[in-house]
Amino acid sequence: MKYKKYEILEKIKGKLIISCQALPSEPLYVEDRSIMYLMARAAKKAGSPCIRTNSIRDIIAIKEETSLPVIGIIKIEYEGYDSYITPTMKEIDELVSVDTDIIALDCTMRKRGDGSTINEFITDIKNKYPDIILMADISTYEEGINAWKCGVDFVGTTLSGYTSYSPKINAPDIDLVKRLSSAIDIPVIAEGKIHYPEQAVQMLESGAYAVVVGGAITRPLEIAQRFINAIEVINNV
């Protein structure tokens, strides 16, 4: 099943989208099969209306398990590309082939190995797939405005703090959410460095249409390290 845009908008408004991902270097990655559907099962049971995930196998497994709309990406590194979230048409084609409901891609202004601009890439995608639903992962206000002008459906603050020129803070970029949500007429999805429930609420109060949280919920190594680091501070006093 693939959801229509109006159905997705109704489902996610004011809600928490949970990101369920495990990269090959992480403890929950299993080489021969997807287990992220188990995380997605828990997310659905908790009340999340939508899942963000990485890789074709996890998209298929999660859609089969939950029947929820999925924001799908493919993380892959190519020589000459600074971007690694759905960077080329090859990944777009693969995501379309499995009925990914929303396709997220890096819409920063960083270098693309084929010499194209992000504007040209978005245009090529929309020409090839006129009905595609795109989420722009951006790191700055200017990138968000640019993606909006290019005709994407959602703008996500996913990459704030992850580019060399965006603010380096260990907290969500509330100012970016406020500025974008007041400047554009498409949903702004708050994502990135949201560690606590209070921060998720704050993002919605700042104008976000919905909030994505991943590491603070579905990455046990990251969660455990946060507790251990806090305790070690006391032990080292």
Query: What mean pLDDT, rounded, does the chain reach?
Result: 96
Q: What is the pTM (predicted TM-score) of this model?
A: 0.96
Distance CA 150, CA 170 (A): 30
- Which pLDDT tens digit goes with each residue over 62-72? 999 999 999 99
Q: What is the mean pLDDT of residues 149-162?
A: 98
Q: What is the mean pLDDT of residues 209-235?
A: 94
CB neighbours (10 Å) of residue 11? 17
- Which pLDDT tens digit goes with each residue over 175-212? 999 999 999 999 999 999 999 999 999 999 999 999 99
State yes or no: pLDDT of 237 exceeds 70.
Answer: no
Q: What is the mean pLDDT of residues 4-17?
A: 98
Return the sign of the alpha-carbon dihedral for residues 198, 6, 184, 162: positive
| Confidence bin at 236 (pLDDT 50/70/90) | confident
Domains of the chain: 5-235 (3.20.20.70)
Which pLDDT score is estimated for 235?
Answer: 84
Helices 89-97 and 118-128: angle between axes, nearest 10 degrees: 30
- Which pLDDT tens digit goes with each residue over 76-106? 999 999 999 999 999 999 999 999 999 999 9
Where are the extended beta strands (E) located within the chain?
16-19, 51-54, 70-73, 102-106, 134-137, 154-156, 188-191, 210-213
Distance CA 207, CA 62 (A): 29
Residue 161 to residues 12, 37, 116, 141, 192: CA-CA distances in angstroms? Answer: 25, 28, 24, 12, 8
| Confidence bin at 1 (pLDDT 50/70/90) | confident
Which pLDDT score is estimated for 234?
Answer: 87
| Cβ proximity of 211 and 194 under 8 Å | yes
